[in-house]
Amino acid sequence: MLYLVGTPIGNMGDISQRAREVLASADLIACEDTRRTGILLKNLGITNKLFAYHEHNKAAKGPVLISRLKQGETVCLVSDAGMPSISDPGEDLVKLCIEEGVDVSAVPGPVAAITALVLSGLDTRRYHYEGFLPSENSERKKRLEALKDIRETMIIYEAPHRLIKLIDELILNGFGSSGAAFCRELTKRYEQVIRCTVSEAKEYFTGTEPKGEFVVCLQPLPEESGDIDVEALIGRFLDEGLSTKETASRVSGMTGISKKDVYERVIKYRADGN
């Protein structure tokens, strides 16, 4: 049996009794970083064998784990923090187990995304888990574009050194006035939840360097309402003498449609001879 075992996202007190028991009785504990998990296990007084299973060796090590599981061994999979398979290796091993007829069970534990969501003060009834946006430019742009069509609270993971870049990208995509929660160092000593609009966050983090681990919860853009006649708004602002750029900015702020999209619509509006 493979057990996916949740471990704390910061506060060691969050390890469950069942996680301790299952880890203690396992034949093998597969983990991303044997040094890091070694410290956790040492704290728990557990000395089982560790086995490195991570992004860079998973293709080779997955079949090794399957073979041990098929021999009847109990294997636990843990990640550096939280639940394995949530923006962490694990998904591939679960798929492999299912393909190979190996049983999989979970010992649930904390997940940074859900911890942030419940603290965000945003809508929790429906949500979209985005995790990390791709680092590659064109893929990242595509995902940012896709976020504009999501109508549920979005949950994004981001490294502190890229947080301001993410905020800039969100503003560029029309999320400046969206409510957000910047959840930092959850369950740890310096836990902090900054609830503000994305534009306000830009101001805040320009003065205060982002440090620690972050989850960003983001309110969706308002649905392009049938009640708002975007073209009529564009016409009104152009008639008032505003430039294409100013019109795009004003209409974007009023409708939640990205500046870039409105900008293109203003160009088209002008080209159509209005």
CA distance 94 to 104: 7
Query: Of 83, 166, 198, 217, which one interacts with ligand SAM (CB under 6 A)?
Result: 83
Kindly state whether residue 159 participates in binding ligand SAM, applying the rule CB under 6 A. Answer: yes
> Of 88 and 169, which CB lies nearer to ligand SAM in the complex structure?
88
Kindly state whether residue 157 participates in binding ligand SAM, applying the rule CB under 6 A. Answer: yes
SS3 state of residue 15: coil
> Smallest distance from the beta carbon of 4 to ligand SAM, in angstroms?
10
In 3-state terms the chain splits into helix, strand, coil percentages (rounded to 5) of 45, 20, 35
Kindly state whether residue 185 participates in binding ligand SAM, applying the rule CB under 6 A. Answer: yes
Which positions from 90 through 129 interact with ligand SAM, judged by CB under 6 A? 111-113
SS3 state of residue 272: coil
> Smallest distance from the beta carbon of 159 to ligand SAM, in angstroms?
6
> Which residues lie across from 158 on neighbouring strands?
214
Query: Of 29, 78, 86, 166, which one interacts with ligand SAM (CB under 6 A)?
Result: 86
Contact 77, 102 (CB under 8 A): no
106, two tokens: 């979970």
> Smallest distance from the beta carbon of 115 to ligand SAM, in angstroms?
7
| DSSP H or E segment with residue 153 | strand 153-158
Kindly state whether residue 130 participates in binding ligand SAM, applying the rule CB under 6 A. Answer: no
CA 104, 105, 111, 113 dihedral sign is: positive
Kindly state whether residue 214 participates in binding ligand SAM, applying the rule CB under 6 A. Answer: yes
Q: Give the Cβ contact number of residue 229 at 10 Å.
A: 11
> Smallest distance from the beta carbon of 90 to ligand SAM, in angstroms?
8
Q: Which residues bind ligand SAM (CB under 6 A)?
A: 9-10, 79, 81-83, 86-88, 111-113, 157-159, 183, 185-188, 213-215
